[in-house]
Amino acid sequence: MAARLKVFVTSDGLTDYVVATSSKPKALAAWGSHQDLFKTGLAHETDDPELVKAASAQPGEVLRRPAGTRGALERLRPARKPSAKRTAPSQSALKKVADLERRLTQLEARQRLSLEKLEAQRRALEERREALEAGHAEERARYEAALTAARRALE
């Protein structure tokens, strides 16, 4: 004996979805819901004669209409499934990837040269600083010796 069909309704606020199935879990599966819409009050069983007649004519099929209207029910188109076979990338896509890889390699080379140039400048400035410090140290030593001599002369 075939299971008695029940008609269930849910809405997303814009569209009412109606399905005739034998149980609430089957209705949830038909709607593609992963949560219990009945438990949250977002879905319910209906006895509206118009909905029962339309949904019972196509058991298991989800029908839809604008929310809150008495408009005609139409069959919900199933979500488009991605194709199982993968197609090879187009020549233009391959060329684009190759071009981007080439540009990235060029950019990395320019960056490496810039960093090497900056490092050479840093080393040169460091050497110059050390030379200046050494020169100033010698000059400071001379001034300190002259100051010491001048203080002794005052004594």
Residue pLDDT, tens place only, 60-98: 889 888 877 777 777 776 655 566 667 888 999 999 999
Give me the pLDDT at residue 92, please.
92
Which one, of 68, 29, 75, 77, lies nearest residue 48 by Cα? 68
Is 2 a residue whose pLDDT tops 70? no
Residue-range domain boundaries for the chain:
6-75, 105-155
Confidence of residue 1 (pLDDT cuts 50, 70, 90): very low
Q: Categorise residue 60: left if φ over 0, alpha if ψ from -120 to 50, beta otherwise.
A: left
Alpha-carbon distance of 132 to 115, in angstroms, equals 26
Determine contact, residues 62/30, Cβ cutoff 8 Å. yes
Half-sphere exposure of 88 (CA within 13 A, CB side): 4
Percent of the chain at pLDDT > 70 equals: 91
Mean predicted confidence (pLDDT) in 38-62: 87
Contact 45, 4 (CB under 8 A): no
> What pLDDT is recorded for position 94?
92
Mean pLDDT of the 46-59 span? 86
3-state secondary structure of 34: coil
pLDDT tens, position by position, 94-134: 999 999 999 999 999 999 999 999 999 999 999 999 988 88
- What confidence tier does 5 reach under pLDDT thresholds 50, 70, 90? confident
Average pLDDT over residues 38-63: 87
Q: What is the pLDDT of residue 79?
A: 55
Q: What is the dihedral of CA 32, 35, 39, 41, to 10 degrees?
A: -60
Ramachandran region of residue 101, left (φ > 0), alpha (ψ -120 to 50) or beta? alpha
Cα separation, 73 vs 55, whole angstroms: 9
